[in-house]
Chains A and B, each alone.
Chain A
Amino acid sequence: MGVARQTYPAGKVEEYLKQIGRVVIIKGIELAVFRTSGDEFYALENRNPHPKGGPLAEGIVSGHYLYDPLYDWKIDLRTGEVQAPDKGQAAAYPVHVDGDSVVIEI
């Protein structure tokens, strides 16, 4: 809030495999970036909201949901919100596609 976001180019669309996460590091922040089957892009901080932590990038993608790779929590890629019955929140960052480039706002 109040802090201006900056945009960062994060490679070309074809560098991302559909439904397979990729780790992108921007200014020391590690992100898990996902390309859905419908070519939408989402970015979460690559930090599992589960108390034991760990990454998110290797999870299974279904629509705009992610099943996390370590504890199988279901997370909404749009908001980072963990779905019931589990509770938690991953940090989500805006992503858009500009031509064939992926652009992330931090």
Chain B
Amino acid sequence: MLGDGFKQSAKTGICGCTTLSRDEIVAEIRAKGLTTTKEVMNVLGWKQEEGCSKCRPAINYYLGMIYPDTHKDEKESRFVNERMSANIQKDGTFTVVPRMYGGVTTPEDLKKIADVSIKYDVKVVKVTGGQRLDLIGIKKEDVPKVWEELDMPSGYAYAKSLRTVKTCVGSQFCRFGTQDSMGMGALLERKYERLDFPAKFKMAVNGCPRNCAESCTKDIGIVGNDGGWEVFIGGNGGIKPRIADSFCKVKTDEELVEICSAVMQYYRETGNYLERTSDWVERMGLDSIKAVILDNEEERKALAQRIDFALTQVTDPWKKMLSDGRARTALFDAAEIR
């Protein structure tokens, strides 16, 4: 029995600006054809007219997910790191992380990284958990120059997007390797980079069940075996650790890619903004995700087609910023008045 003091609690929305849930907001955007965060907040009766730091980035994500080809990304509704395409540090300097597909680099790229790091007085070069390099402590006004001189793709270390695909050495060199994990890792990282997700997204590919690249703590973890690949989903090594669930086994690389596409797109379409797959899998239920993706070939293929379409719309944000003088100046350059 509930006590006398119990009162039906007011319906809580995604933040203090609204009582609407994520699903209600997404349904309203689709039903009414709403196209900007401003329009969403106006039409849906936001209490704080221009929203807050919780709802604005969320609405901007939902709009991009629903209209991958027509939504104009709203920089003013992005968190600092995503707006700047770099990670802010507590002293206001930034960290730049270039791509190293599948955790594989070259002596030429390492030389370039070393030269740029020396030239721009990078404070720390740190090896990350995702098998690449952080260039930490770059002055704000130098960030675009570092991008330009590195001339490497953005690693998206700042984004709610695919971070890295961690790999082991695999069959190219390892005596235990049964699958080409470095090759598959680089292929997947190139295919899915740059796309927005509800939260950051990490992957791993292993050449054999020894699992040296630790698939069990990744959003999608892939483990090679003699006959193909096993796919795991919903792992997390962060604040609330969770061991990934076995999702399915496939025989071919093509099947593997299709499963990854479908899982990612289903998460993009149903995930709450900032909800990692570890929470998403528990909320949706592993069996219900399996029913949509594994038991329904038509839906699986449709999901894969939708992510492929969204992927045709993405571009490298560093190159884009370097070609947009007004945005570059407004975001990165201080105006000194004498």
The residue that A58 contacts in the complex, of B83, B327, B335, with Cβ under 8 A, is B83
- The answer to whether B335 touches A10, judged by C-beta atoms less than 8 angstroms apart, is yes
In angstroms, how far is the closest chain B Cβ from the Cβ of A74? 8
- Chain B residue at minimum C-beta to C-beta distance from A38: B50
How far, in whole Å, are A27 and B338 apart by their CA atoms in the complex?
6
- The answer to whether B330 touches A53, judged by C-beta atoms less than 8 angstroms apart, is no
- Which of B51-59, B126-134, B307-315 lies on the face that meets chain A? B51-59
Given A58-B84, A62-B51, A25 and B335 contact (CB-CB distance below 8 Å)? yes
Number of A-B pairs, beta carbon distance below 8 Å: 87
The residue that B76 contacts in the complex, of A8, A18, A63, with Cβ under 8 A, is A18
Q: Does B92 contact A (CB under 8 A)?
A: yes
B residues near A9, Cβ cutoff 8 Å: 337
- The answer to whether B49 touches A25, judged by C-beta atoms less than 8 angstroms apart, is no
Q: Does A24 contact B (CB under 8 A)?
A: yes
B residues near A30, Cβ cutoff 8 Å: 334
Q: Does B113 contact A (CB under 8 A)?
A: no
How far, in whole Å, are A24 and B329 apart by their CA atoms in the complex?
12
- The answer to whether A54 touches B76, judged by C-beta atoms less than 8 angstroms apart, is no
- The answer to whether A58 touches B80, judged by C-beta atoms less than 8 angstroms apart, is yes
Report B318-333 CB contacts with A as 1/0, cut-off 8 Å.
0000000011011101
Q: Does B79 contact A (CB under 8 A)?
A: yes
- The answer to whether B327 touches A17, judged by C-beta atoms less than 8 angstroms apart, is yes
- The answer to whether B330 touches A17, judged by C-beta atoms less than 8 angstroms apart, is yes
- The answer to whether A62 touches B329, judged by C-beta atoms less than 8 angstroms apart, is no
- The answer to whether A67 touches B52, judged by C-beta atoms less than 8 angstroms apart, is yes
A residues near B92, Cβ cutoff 8 Å: 54-55
In angstroms, how far is the closest chain A Cβ from the Cβ of B69? 24
Instruction: Give the contact-size bracket for chain B.
Output: 20 to 34
- Chain A residue at minimum C-beta to C-beta distance from B53: A67
Instruction: Give the contact-size bracket for chain A.
Output: 20 to 34
- Chain A residue at minimum C-beta to C-beta distance from B337: A26
Interface residue ranges of B70-96 to A (CB < 8 Å): 75-77, 79-80, 83-84, 88, 90-92
Q: Does A60 contact B (CB under 8 A)?
A: yes
In angstroms, how far is the closest chain B Cβ from the Cβ of A37? 6
- Chain B residue at minimum C-beta to C-beta distance from A30: B334
Q: Does A11 contact B (CB under 8 A)?
A: yes
- Chain B residue at minimum C-beta to C-beta distance from A58: B80
The residue that A54 contacts in the complex, of B90, B329, B334, B337, with Cβ under 8 A, is B90
B residues near A60, Cβ cutoff 8 Å: 52-53, 56-57, 76-77, 79
- The answer to whether A58 touches B334, judged by C-beta atoms less than 8 angstroms apart, is no
In angstroms, how far is the closest chain B Cβ from the Cβ of A10? 6
B residues near A96, Cβ cutoff 8 Å: none
How far, in whole Å, are A16 and B79 apart by their CA atoms in the complex?
18
- Chain A residue at minimum C-beta to C-beta distance from B46: A62
The residue that A8 contacts in the complex, of B57, B140, B337, with Cβ under 8 A, is B337
Given A24-B335, A58-B88, A61-B76, A16 and B330 contact (CB-CB distance below 8 Å)? yes
- The answer to whether A63 touches B48, judged by C-beta atoms less than 8 angstroms apart, is yes
5 tightest A-B CB contacts, nearest first: A67-B53, A19-B76, A23-B334, A58-B80, A55-B92
CB within 8 Å of B: which residues of A? 8-11, 15-20, 22-27, 30, 37, 52-55, 58-63, 67, 69-70, 72, 74, 104
Given contacts A17-B76, A37-B50, 9 further A-B contacts (CB under 8 A): A22-B334, A24-B336, A25-B334, A54-B88, A61-B76, A62-B50, A62-B56, A63-B48, A69-B88
Offer 7 A-B interface pairs, CB within 8 angstroms, sorted by A: A17-B327, A20-B83, A37-B50, A58-B83, A60-B52, A62-B50, A69-B80
